């Protein structure tokens, strides 16, 4: 359904038929804004944010469906021969196909855990405000807005790209309507645009994070208290750490890189580093006499980078929190831990240029080799694919 438009000429709409919850027109035709109490305005804002949380959850489901189709196809389809020359190989046996698909499977789980966490948080806040059992600060609301803006943008972008790549991974079968992929792809492609274009949403995230950066760099100790419990709280320590010019994080071998705690530390340092770079660039432009709008426009590419970096931290954090929640045991827990590591490792592998002074060259090489080690645990990934549906 398109938004459409309606043009009226010489038509009078009775006041009782106008939606006037937040603003109104009086009997003299004068526009008036209604001053809402703090709780009402926050609840209305939270309701709007829930739509973006639902989009994050939808990204998980749609990407999981595409992964299920493509991974199952790859297990059935055979091409080429094994080393004996007698038995044909499943195309899922090719490392390139595993690398192509299992990263998206890991992402679908990361999206699921993040979407679930943030939706539960929104509902808890809403209930608390209505029952008057919980107070919510402007910083907390701003933090939620920043998280949902970046998660909506990141997850829907990756899901749209992932569905298309899953389709391509199925060869000619993926082009057929019978595969289910063309309909899934075309149905999903609206999501990077609805509820805010993804390129625009990164600016919403950056505004909140730059406000926090300014508070920390100004020496405002209240930031540690006011932002406690917020998704962006890790920046408080991260920015202070960056001021001390920390050495590269050591990774001694590929096996050492397969660690969610280590990967989370790496991603957080990257996020803090890019935020400082953006803030410094904007301040330098303003010091040179440029207008804020001009400096902001020149910084948009960097702003998108900090938004994506923050999203990766939130997704990895949600994945790690789930692993520590004791909801799974045995082989299921092993499979989830492998996928969590694969998600983090592939973020570092894909954006290796961002980590050139967070990891040394040997560390980045170990990350690349660690990806291959995780991919070798193929049976876990395939069973995890079945679990998603």
Whether 232 contacts 146, CB under 8 Å: yes
Helix locations, 134-180, DSSP H: 138-168, 172-175
Residue 341, pLDDT above cutoff 70: yes
> Residue 149's CB: how many other CB atoms inside 10 A?
27
Whether 303 contacts 206, CB under 8 Å: yes
Between residues 133 and 185, which one has the greater pLDDT? 185
Could you confirm whether 195 is annotated as catalytic? yes
Whether 217 contacts 275, CB under 8 Å: no
Q: Rounded to two decimals, what is the model's pTM?
A: 0.88
Q: Which residue has the tokens 């397969």?
A: 258
From the list 27, 126, 164, 195, the catalytic residue is 195
The hierarchical CATH code for the domain 235-387 is 1.20.140.10
**Tokens coding 283:** 């301040």
CA distance 189 to 156: 9
> pLDDT tens digits for 267-324?
999 999 999 999 999 999 999 999 999 999 999 999 999 999 999 999 999 999 999 9
Residue 39, pLDDT above cutoff 80: no
CA distance 59 to 122: 18
Class of the CATH domain delimited by 38-203 = mainly alpha
Whether 55 contacts 156, CB under 8 Å: yes
> Quick one: how far is CA 6 from the chain centroid?
36
Percent of the chain at pLDDT exceeding 70: 94
Domain 38-203 shares a fold with domain 235-387: yes
Residue 381, pLDDT above cutoff 70: no
Average pLDDT of the chain to the nearest whole number:
90
CA distance 98 to 375: 7
> Quick one: how far is CA 198 from the chain centroid?
11
CA distance 185 to 170: 14
Enumerate the domain spans of the chain: 38-203, 235-387
């Amino acid at each position: 359904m398109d938004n459409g438009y309606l043009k009226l000429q010489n038509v009078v709409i009775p006041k009782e038929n106008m939606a006037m919850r937040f603003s109104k027109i009086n009997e003299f035709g004068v526009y008036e804004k209604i001053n809402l109490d703090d709780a009402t305005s926050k609840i209305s804002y939270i309701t709007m944010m829930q739509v973006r949380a639902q989009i994050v959850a939808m990204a998980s489901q749609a990407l999981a469906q595409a992964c299920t189709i493509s991974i199952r196809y790859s297990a059935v389809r055979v091409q080429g021969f094994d080393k004996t020359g007698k038995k044909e190989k499943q195309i899922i046996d090719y490392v390139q196909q595993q690398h192509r698909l299992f990263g998206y499977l890991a992402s679908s789980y990361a999206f699921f855990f993040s979407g679930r966490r943030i939706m539960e948080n929104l509902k808890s806040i809403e209930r608390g405000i209505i029952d008057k059992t919980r107070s919510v600060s402007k910083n907390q609301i701003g933090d939620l807005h920043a998280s949902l803006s970046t998660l909506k943008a990141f997850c829907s972008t990756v899901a749209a790209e992932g569905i298309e790549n899953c389709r391509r991974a199925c060869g000619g079968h993926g082009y057929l309507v019978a595969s289910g992929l063309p309909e899934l792809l075309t149905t999903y492609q609206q999501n990077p645009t609805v509820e805010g274009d993804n390129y625009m949403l990164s600016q919403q995230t950056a505004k909140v994070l730059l406000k926090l950066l300014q508070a920390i760099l100004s020496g405002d100790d209240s930031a540690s208290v006011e932002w406690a419990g917020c998704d962006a709280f890790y920046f408080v320590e991260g920015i202070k750490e960056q001021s001390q010019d920390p050495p590269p994080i050591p990774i001694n071998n590929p096996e050492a890189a397969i660690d969610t705690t280590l990967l989370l530390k790496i991603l957080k340092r990257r996020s803090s580093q890019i935020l400082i770079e953006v803030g410094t660039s904007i301040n330098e432009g303003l010091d040179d006499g440029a207008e804020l709008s001009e400096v902001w426009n020149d910084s948009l590419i960097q702003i998108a980078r900090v938004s994506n970096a923050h999203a990766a931290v939130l997704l990895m954090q949600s994945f790690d929190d789930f692993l520590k929640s004791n909801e799974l045991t045995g082989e299921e827990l092993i499979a989830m831990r492998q996928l969590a590591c694969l998600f983090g490792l592939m973020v570092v592998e894909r954006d290796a240029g961002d980590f050139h002074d967070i990891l040394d060259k040997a560390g980045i090489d170990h990350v690349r080799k660690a990806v291959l080690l995780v991919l070798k645990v193929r049976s876990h990934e395939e069973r995890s694919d079945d679990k998603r549906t």
